[in-house]
Structure 1
Amino acid sequence: MRHIYRCPLRWADMDAYGHVNNVVFLRYLEEARIDFLFRPDKDFKQGSVVARHEIDYKRQLVHRHAPVDIELWITEIRAASFTLSYEVKDGDLVYVRASTVIVPFDFEGQRPRRITAEEREFLQEYMDAADDARTEGEAVAA
């Protein structure tokens, strides 16, 4: 299953050529990530931090008033981290493909922590079967 976030474009997001600036895509990914992780029914109450981002820019996104879709899903769950993948797109037209490694974090203790059973259950709902990803400890079919 994938989470879909309708991301509004802002006038300040564009560069001198009228395209959304590449660095703004990091903020778009953050907005989608927050929308996914911090919902009233499910969230990472204990906190988390970003350990890594990878972004592949596929084409320029011209500024407009209509929002752009960001699809988000889980591609890997480990003991103390998980990977989110994203596509920023309009239908089949993909502007950006990206991934983010998230580490659950204990802010009171100032250290990384393991993913709880409740968090793992929530994340597994968003594992995308189309991806060649698996959770830690699962055997690879030969």
Structure 2
Amino acid sequence: MVEDADRAEFGIEGDWAVVRRHRIRWSECDQYAHANNAAYLALCEDLRVSHWLSLGGRFAVGEPGPVVAQMEVRYLQSLAFDDAVAVTMRPAALRRSSLTQDYAVWKRGLVFTCRAVLVLIRHGSGEKVAIPPAMRAVLVGQGAAEDA
């Protein structure tokens, strides 16, 4: 959950299940020291992977894991080298074998949003897999709505 100090420092609004601080690295920037568009997506990916691991998920052949099926992004403000930011994530919706997650990047207010639809597949076979009940319960506890 987002702490009051993070809300004050980064201007975070709303309810978010996970927050991670990050400082924009030179390797994430173009020649003018502006953060590359792909860097924003990598921040979301890093948070998605650590969240999956925190749920007890693994990345191994034969194991189910999330695969991005769709993304919608909005770039609201640019970021630059050495900017301190907060990246937030919350699960938004669950279906049998897929989930939707919302992400945001904050620096004195909202600078980027992303919505990703993830499908659980068994690595190696590509077979869709139902979200395990224990994982589903945690995601619902973090705010995810269960769709029909």
TM-score, length of structure 2 as denominator length = 0.78
Distance 2:141 2:86 in 1: 20
Larger fraction in helix: 2
Query: Which amino acid is 2:49 matched to?
Result: I
The DSSP-based 3-state class of the residue aligned with 2:142 is: coil
Task: Determine the structure 1 residue equivalent to 2:46.
Answer: 31
Task: Determine the structure 1 residue equivalent to 2:78.
Answer: 60
Distance 1:100 1:90 in 2: 21
Distance 1:84 1:6 in 2: 18
Contact kept, 8 Å, 2:72 with 2:114, in 1: the verdict is: yes
CA deviation digits over 1:65-84, x for unaligned, max 9? x5421110011111110001
TM-score, length of structure 1 as denominator length = 0.81
Distance 1:31 1:61 in 2: 18
CA deviation digits over 1:98-120, x for unaligned, max 9? 11111111124331111111111
The DSSP-based 3-state class of the residue aligned with 1:118 is: helix
Q: Percent identity?
A: 23
Query: Which amino acid is 2:85 matched to?
Result: V
Q: How many correspondences in the alignment? A: 128
Distance 2:119 2:56 in 1: 14
Query: Which amino acid is 2:20 matched to?
Result: Y
| 2:19 corresponds to 1:4 | yes
Task: Determine the structure 1 residue equivalent to 2:8.
Answer: none
Select which of 98, 114, 123 maps to 1:98.
114
Within 5 Å, give how 1:104-119 maps onto structure 2: 104-119=120-135
Runs of 4+ with >4 A deviation: none
Select which of 75, 85, 107 maps to 2:102.
85
Contact kept, 8 Å, 2:104 with 2:110, in 1: the verdict is: yes
Structure 1: 5+ residue runs without aligned partners?
A: 129-133, 138-142
